[in-house]
C-alpha cells in the first residue's frame, strides 16, 4: 500500500508554505544529498496553453532542493510534433514566454534530450501485456542526474484519458525515438466515409508520409513519426484514434515510465498538481475550459498510488461548466472514451507502485 500526502485546497491553505509542508511530510526530498544534481521535471506548456504548473510553485520546490545543498535544474524534453517546443531553441523560447527562466524558477533550464536525439538506451527488464518495446531511450540530461523530482499537472488527455506522473515519466522523460515508438501503438486511422480527398492532411505532414491513392490519403508507416498532426488538421474528422489502440499506447507508456524510474531506484519523488483540470493536456493550445474546481496538491514516492489518488479525487469532485456531468469512476477516461486506468494497472504490474494507497491530509 502506498502513502500519498494531500494539500487540500478546500481548507483555504497558504499554498507556498503548504508545498513545503507537503515535501517535508511526504519525505520526497529525503534522499537528496549535498552536491547531488537534481532534475526537476516539469512540462513548461505549449505556446498558447495557460494551464501548466505555475513557475512560482516550481520555484518553491527548487528552493527546497537548494536548501539541502543540492544542485537542481529544471528540465523537460522536446515534442514529437512540429511546433513551438520541437527543438531545444524553440522550447527555451516558449519556456521563457510562459514564465520559465532561470531568474523565475531559481535554477538553470535544461532541455534534457537536446533536439530530441540525446537519449541513453535502457533495456526493459520486464514486459507485460501487448508491448513490443525492448529498449527505451531516456533523455540523457535526466538519465545522468543523481535524483529525479517529477512535478506533474493532472489533466485530461485525448489518448490516455488523463495525464499525471506516469505519463510525465513515460513520455516526458524520453528522447524522440522512444516517443515515436510509443505513439506507433496508436496510429491515426482513416474513416473512408468521412474523407472527401481534400489532401489537407498531406500538406501538414512534416515528413511527407502521406500520399494519395484512389482519392484517399495513404500513410507510409516507415516514414510516419506518429505525431498526429494530420489528425488534428482534418476538418472532416476523417482521421481518428481507435479505443483499443489508445489503451495499447498506455501499455507502452507504462513500460517507458518503468525504464525511466529504474535508473533512480529510491532516488525519486513525485508531486501532482490537481488544479486547472482541463479536458486536454499542456501540449494543447487551448486545452479547453476547466472541468472541476481546483482540488489540491499531492506528493508521494509512488507514482502509481499518486496518480490513482489524484484520479479518485477528481472522480469525487463536482463537474463544472458542463450540461451533462459525467459520473465516475474514471470521469476523464469516459470524457475521452478510453479506460485511463490501463496505464496505472500496467505500471503496477511492472512493479512501479501500488494502486492501493492511504491518503494523509496535511
Ligand atoms: S484532410 Fe481529412 S478529408 Fe482531407 S484528405 Fe485528409 S483525411 Fe481526407
Ligand atoms: S502521417 Fe500524420 S501522424 Fe504520420 S507523420 Fe504525417 S502527420 Fe504525423
Q: Does the C-beta of 212 come closer than 6 Å to ligand 1? A: no
Tens of pLDDT, residues 144-198: 999 999 999 999 999 999 999 999 999 999 999 999 999 999 999 999 999 999 9
Q: Does the C-beta of 189 come closer than 6 Å to ligand 1? A: no
- Is the CB of residue 222 less than 8 Å from the CB of residue 187? no
Distance from residue 176's CA to the centre of ligand 2 (Å): 14
Same domain, 146 and 227: no
Same domain, 130 and 99: yes
Ligand nearest to C-alpha 190 = 1
The pLDDT, as a whole number, for residue 320 is 96
Mean pLDDT of the chain: 97
Task: Answer yes or no: is pLDDT of 335 > 90.
Answer: yes
Q: Which domain holds residue 279?
A: 2-184+244-361
Domain count, the chain: 2
- Is the CB of residue 292 less than 8 Å from the CB of residue 261? no
Q: Does the C-beta of 232 come closer than 6 Å to ligand 1? A: no
- Is the CB of residue 362 less than 8 Å from the CB of residue 18? yes
Tens of pLDDT, residues 224-260: 999 999 999 999 999 999 999 999 999 999 999 999 9
Peptide bond just before 23 cis, omega within 30 deg: no
Same domain, 92 and 217: no
The pLDDT, as a whole number, for residue 120 is 98
Same domain, 215 and 127: no
CA distance 255 to 131: 8
What confidence category does residue 130 fall into, taking pLDDT thresholds of 50, 70 and 90?
Answer: confident
CATH number, domain at 356?
Answer: 3.40.50
Q: Does the C-beta of 58 come closer than 6 Å to ligand 1? A: no
Same domain, 126 and 265: yes
Ligand nearest to C-alpha 205 = 2
The pLDDT, as a whole number, for residue 163 is 98
Q: Grid coordinates standing for 96?
A: 521563457
The pLDDT, as a whole number, for residue 125 is 86
From the CA of 187, give the closest atom in ligand 2: 3
Task: Answer yes or no: is pLDDT of 12 > 90.
Answer: no
Whole-model pTM: value is 0.97
Tens of pLDDT, residues 266-295: 899 999 999 999 999 999 999 999 999 999
Ligand nearest to C-alpha 235 = 1
Q: Does the C-beta of 197 come closer than 6 Å to ligand 1? A: yes
Residues in the chain: 362
Task: Answer yes or no: is pLDDT of 44 > 90.
Answer: yes
Distance from residue 338's CA to the centre of ligand 2 (Å): 22
Amino acid at each position: 500500500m502506498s502513502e500519498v500526502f494531500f494539500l487540500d485546497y478546500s481548507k483555504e491553505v497558504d499554498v507556498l508554505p503548504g508545498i513545503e509542508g507537503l515535501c517535508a511530510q511526504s519525505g520526497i526530498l529525503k534522499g537528496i544529498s549535498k552536491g547531488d544534481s537534481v532534475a526537476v521535471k516539469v512540462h513548461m506548456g505549449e505556446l498558447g496553453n495557460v494551464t501548466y504548473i505555475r513557475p512560482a510553485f516550481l520555484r518553491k520546490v527548487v528552493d527546497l532542493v537548494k536548501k539541502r545543498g543540492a544542485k537542481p535544474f529544471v528540465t523537460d524534453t522536446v515534442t514529437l510534433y512540429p511546433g513551438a517546443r520541437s527543438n531545444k531553441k524553440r522550447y527555451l523560447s516558449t519556456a521563457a514566454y510562459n514564465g520559465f527562466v532561470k531568474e523565475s524558477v531559481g535554477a538553470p533550464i535544461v532541455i534534457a534530450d537536446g533536439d530530441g536525439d540525446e537519449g541513453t538506451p535502457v533495456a526493459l527488464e520486464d514486459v507485460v501485456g501487448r508491448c513490443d518495446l525492448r529498449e527505451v531511450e531516456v533523455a540523457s540530461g535526466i538519465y545522468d542526474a543523481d535524483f529525479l523530482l517529477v512535478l506533474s499537472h493532472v489533466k485530461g488527455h485525448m489518448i490516455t484519458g488523463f495525464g499525471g506522473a506516469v505519463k510525465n515519466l513515460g513520455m516526458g522523460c524520453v528522447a524522440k525515438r522512444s516517443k515515436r515508438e510509443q505513439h506507433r501503438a496508436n496510429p491515426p486511422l482513416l474513416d473512408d466515409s468521412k474523407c472527401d480527398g481534400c489532401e489537407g492532411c498531406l500538406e501538414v505532414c512534416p515528413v511527407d508520409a502521406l500520399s494519395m491513392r484512389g482519392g484517399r490519403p495513404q500513410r507510409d508507416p516507415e516514414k510516419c513519426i506518429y505525431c498526429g498532426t494530420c489528425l488534428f488538421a482534418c476538418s472532416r474528422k476523417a482521421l481518428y484514434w481507435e479505443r483499443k489502440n489508445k489503451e495499447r499506447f498506455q501499455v507502452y507508456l507504462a513500460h517507458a515510465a518503468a525504464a525511466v524510474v529504474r535508473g533512480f531506484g529510491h532516488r525519486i519523488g513525485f508531486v501532482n498538481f490537481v488544479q486547472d483540470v482541463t479536458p486536454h493536456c499542456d501540449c494543447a493550445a487551448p486545452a479547453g475550459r476547466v472541468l472541476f474546481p481546483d482540488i489540491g496538491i499531492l506528493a508521494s514516492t509512488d507514482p502509481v498510488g499518486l496518480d490513482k489518488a489524484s484520479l479518485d479525487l477528481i472522480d469525487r469532485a463536482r463537474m463544472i461548466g458542463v450540461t451533462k456531468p459525467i459520473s465516475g469512476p474514471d470521469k476523464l477516461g469516459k470524457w475521452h472514451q478510453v479506460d485511463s486506468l490501463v496505464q496505472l494497472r500496467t505500471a503496477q504490474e511492472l512493479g512501479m507502485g501500488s494502486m492501493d494507497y492511504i491518503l494523509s491530509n496535511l
